[in-house]
Amino acid sequence: SGVDVYLVTEGPLGNLAWTPSSVGLPDGKFSGITGADWNKDGMTDLVISAYAAGSGTGIYAYENSRNAAVWTSSSNGLPDDGDYIENAIGDIDGDGHLDIATAGSYGNTYGIMVCYGDGDGTWTCSSQGFTDNIQYVGVDLGDFNGDGTLDIVAGKRTRGGGIEVWKNPSSSAPPPQPEIEVTYPSAGDSLTGGSTHDVTWTSSSGTPPFTIALLYSTDSGATYPQSIAADLTQEEAGEGSHSWSVPVINSGTVRVIARVIDSEGQTVSRGGQDFKVDTIAPTITTTFPRDGTDEVSTSTPVIITFDEAMGGSTSAAVSISGNGDPVLSNPSWSGTQLSLDTSGFLADTRYTVTTSTGAVDASLPGNNMAGAHTFSFTTGGGETPIPPMVVSTTPHHDATGVAIGSSLTVGFSKTMDLTATQGAVRIAPQFDWTPSWTDGNTVLSLFPASDLAPNTRFTVTIMDTALASDGTSLDSPYTWSFTTGDPPDLILPMVSGNYPPDRQREIQFTLDEVTVTFSEPMDRPSTEAAVIMDSGTIVGMTWRVEDTVLAITVELEEGERHTITLGTGATDMSGNHLAEEFSFYFVTREPIEAEGNSPLGSPLAPLLLLSLLLVAAPMLSRRGRGR
């Protein structure tokens, strides 16, 4: 029991994924949960009502920290016992802070109660003016009489039931709450450390003029220790801006918060989303062709991979030199990888590619490379090289029932360039994978980060941008598909029945078959090997009902206890062992011993003679009287 929060994200295929995020929330029995930003920091907080039919633990307020990463109790002044099924939140007294309306719902917890908030997690609770000694269940707020103030409605659980409404006694509506939204920087932006940018916002509602403060966080909004500006004045609601000298830091969890106070003294804080501040100069991690490579195709592309996202103008900072008329053209980007077509190469000629410090990363306005980067390669004799081909795949095309824990392999006819070929892999539905190369960089293995989705058809495409080490590319994209099977069976089998029943007595020793029924089909060899009978003889075993019933042919002893045991060596079709050892016993009937063939030679002869005398005596007596 307790309170759980689940955060929703959208997966790569448009599907929704839910992630629990409940650190700090209480355990116990709860019923009413309401979300509202009662501390005005831009994140939804919680108010929770406990109900446990007489052992409830009151009302709780929890503050949202770091986008629900942590929840902190802010329940000072709230009742810590009593049963409350529901609650509602709104500014009941018009002071600009959210209040809680709730009601007792069980035992000695009676009546409507309002807990007035001060915005910082302190609450003052009162039931003054409300009918007591009534238990209520549903509670809500609304302006029922149109006077601009919030009234209370609740459903009665006792006193005959019904609905009751309480009009708010306040004579005037609360002033409009100010609102503010940071519009820049926004989620996903990347700013260059040390540069200057305008922080922009939009204010609305509230009573002008407004006083605005701007602060920034480097921990996703958990704290805002750094000030950008304070006491900025905005005469009217609308857009505003302030110039900011971005700090020289490196962080992907920076965000700006704006705090507004209107002329009525009402305040609200609203934080933006995470953006990046980048102060590190970009570097080149790999190139194609690699520096010093010989026998390169005269039609090879040039591929440069950087350690971070780059600005679009970076391609203009790349040049090539060498004999002939070498030209770089048609720049294209795939993540951090820049590809350039080439022309004008001569055979057996050395060429040098230079990336100047004019290359900048994707932050605004951008960090330049710290120094120029060069690499060289030499073309081959001018013969037309044979392009690489895909010669094998695992799983094979149109394979079905593929295990969800499988890896994928692609075999090529030539040694491949690792970076270019890995970047040419496309998989749908998409999943994360780790590459591994073997057999002289001719076989690429893809190891999924987790099990593949079951019963799903996957299509893998190797684009024609995959390159051999000599710079030649696939003639055309290569595609194959496969379908995964069911998820693995992880359920342990169990014995669900047996005959004779356990501890049964007076079983005929002529019984020639004992049966054991399982919860699922079993592996015959391992299950038969796991059967032991401590008296009598097992003659044979047969299977019925799709291998869920084991029939054991037996020869039993008279007057004996027979115990049959199945050890945990018995497995189901997936190799799962029996959950636990299972045994049962039964007892056969005692033999009846006889002496000769005459009833008079039996140990029961005296009883038979006595029975005859008792039957004959009356008959002899009647016959004597008749004489």
* Tens-digit pLDDT profile for residues 258-270: 999 999 888 888 8
The reply to whether 607 falls in a domain is no
Residue matched to tokens 């055979």: 347
pLDDT level of residue 487 (50, 70, 90 thresholds): confident
At 130 the pLDDT is 83
The residue among 243, 278, 313 that closes a domain is 278
- Mean pLDDT (the chain) is 88
What is the pLDDT, as a whole number, of residue 172? Answer: 67
DSSP state, residue 128: T
What would the mean pLDDT of 18-22 be, rounded to a whole number? 84
Judge if 343 and 414 occupy the same domain.
no
Rounded to the nearest 10 degrees, how much is the dihedral formed by the CA atoms of 35, 37, 41, 44?
20
- For 425-480, the pLDDT digits (tens) are 999 999 999 999 999 999 999 999 999 999 999 999 999 999 998 888 998 999 99
Task: Flag whether pLDDT at 73 surpasses 70.
Answer: yes
Query: Is the residue at 328 inside a domain?
Result: yes
**Helix/strand/coil for 210:** strand
Kind of pairing, strands 302-306 and 284-288?
antiparallel
Q: Is the pLDDT of residue 353 over 50?
A: yes
Q: Which 8-state DSSP code applies to residue 159? A: T
Q: What number is the average pLDDT over the span 41-63?
A: 84
Residue 601 falls inside a structural domain: no
What pLDDT is recorded for position 43? 84
Which of 141, 166, 191 delimits the end of a domain?
A: 166
Report pLDDT digits (tens) over 187-221: 989 999 999 999 999 999 889 999 999 999 999 88
324 contacts 339 by C-beta, under 8 angstroms: no
34-40: Cβ within 8 A, 24+ apart: 34/87, 34/88, 34/89, 36/89, 36/98, 37/98, 38/89, 38/97, 38/98, 38/117, 38/119, 39/63, 39/74, 39/119, 39/120, 39/121, 40/119, 40/267, 40/268, 40/269
pLDDT band (50, 70, 90) for residue 171: low
* Sign of the four-CA dihedral 384, 385, 389, 391: positive
- 């209040």: which residue's tokens? 99
Per-residue pLDDT reduced to its tens digit, 280-291? 999 999 899 989
Kind and range of the H or E run holding 267: strand 267-271
Quick check: 420 and 466 in contact, CB under 8 A? yes
Q: Are residues 24 and 131 in the same domain?
A: yes
Question: For the residues 149-168, what does the mean pLDDT come to?
Answer: 87
Mean pLDDT of 149-164: 86
What is residue 189's predicted lDDT score, i.e. its pLDDT? 95
Q: What's 567's domain CATH number?
A: 2.60.40.1220
Residue 592 lies in a domain: no
Q: Which domain holds residue 580?
A: 495-587
Can you tell me the distance from the alpha carbon of 145 to that of 109, in angstroms, rounded to the nearest whole number? 29
Last residue of a domain, one of 465, 484, 503: 484
pLDDT of the residue at 441: 94
The residue with greater pLDDT, 109 or 17, is 17
Residue whose tokens read 């599907």: 15
Q: What's the rounded mean pLDDT across residues 403-421?
A: 93
pLDDT at 20: 85
User: Own/partner pairs for 107-110, CB < 8 Å, 24+ apart?
Assistant: 107/54, 107/83, 109/56, 109/82, 109/83, 109/84, 109/135, 110/134, 110/135
How confident is the model over 293-317, as pLDDT tens digits?
A: 998 989 899 999 999 999 989 999 9
- The pLDDT value recorded for residue 626 is 46
**pLDDT tens digits, residue range 508-547?**
989 999 999 999 999 999 999 999 999 999 999 999 999 9
Q: Checking DSSP bridges between strand 162-166 and strand 238-245, what pairing results, if any?
A: unpaired
Whether residues 213 and 190 fall in one domain: yes
Give the CATH number for residue 155: 2.130.10.130
Rounded to an integer, the average pLDDT of 338-367 is 95
Contact 482, 397 (CB under 8 A): yes
Beta bridge partners of 16: 10
Asked if 544 contacts 583 with a C-beta cutoff of 8 angstroms, the reply is no
Please give the pLDDT value at position 615.
53
Q: Is residue 235 part of a domain?
A: yes
> What pLDDT is attached to residue 613?
53
Closest CA to 554 of 609, 604, 608, 516: 516
Is residue 160 scored above 80 in pLDDT? no
Q: In terms of domains, do 395 and 375 share one?
A: no
Report how many domains make up the chain: 5
As to burial, measured by CB atoms within 10 angstroms (0-12 exposed, 13-18 middle, 19+ buried), residue 438 is: exposed
User: Are residues 499 and 526 located together in one domain of the fold?
Assistant: yes
Question: Residue 382: is its pLDDT beyond 90?
Answer: no
Q: Which residue has the higher pLDDT, 434 or 486?
A: 434
pTM of the model as a whole = 0.59
Residue 467: predicted pLDDT: 92
Considering the domain boundaries, does residue 620 fall inside one? no
Pair (31, 160) in one structural domain: yes
Residue 357 binned pLDDT confidence (cut-offs 50, 70, 90)? very high
Mean pLDDT of all residues in 580-601: 74
- Shared domain check, 394 and 267: no
95 and 235 both lie in a single domain: no
CB atoms within 10 A of CB 76: 12
37 with 157, same domain: the answer is: yes
Decide if 360 is inside a domain.
yes
Domain identity same for 28 and 106:
yes
Quote the pLDDT of residue 480.
Answer: 93
pLDDT at 269: 87
In a domain, 611, yes or no: no
pLDDT of 128 strictly over 90: no
pLDDT at 330 over 80: yes
Residues 6+ apart with CB under 8 A from 493: 518, 519, 520, 522, 570, 571, 572, 576, 577, 578, 579
What CATH number did the domain enclosing 396 receive? 2.60.40.3710
Is the pLDDT score of 572 beyond 70? yes
Say yes or no: 64 and 84 in one domain: yes
Which pLDDT score, from 0 to 100, does residue 618 have?
Answer: 54
pLDDT of 619 higher than 60:
no
* H or E element in which residue 163 lies: strand 162-166
Q: Quote the DSSP letter at residue 403.
A: -
Share of the chain above pLDDT 70, in %: 91
C-alpha to C-alpha distance for 383 and 410, rounded to whole angstroms? 27
pLDDT for the residue 486 = 87
The Cα–Cα gap between 111 and 370 comes to 71
Type and span of the H or E element at 549: strand 549-555
Distances (CA, A) of 541 to 501, 536, 551, 552: 19, 15, 6, 5
CB 336 within 8 A of CB 310: yes
Amino acid at 326: P
Same domain, 346 and 446: no
Per-residue pLDDT, 627: 44
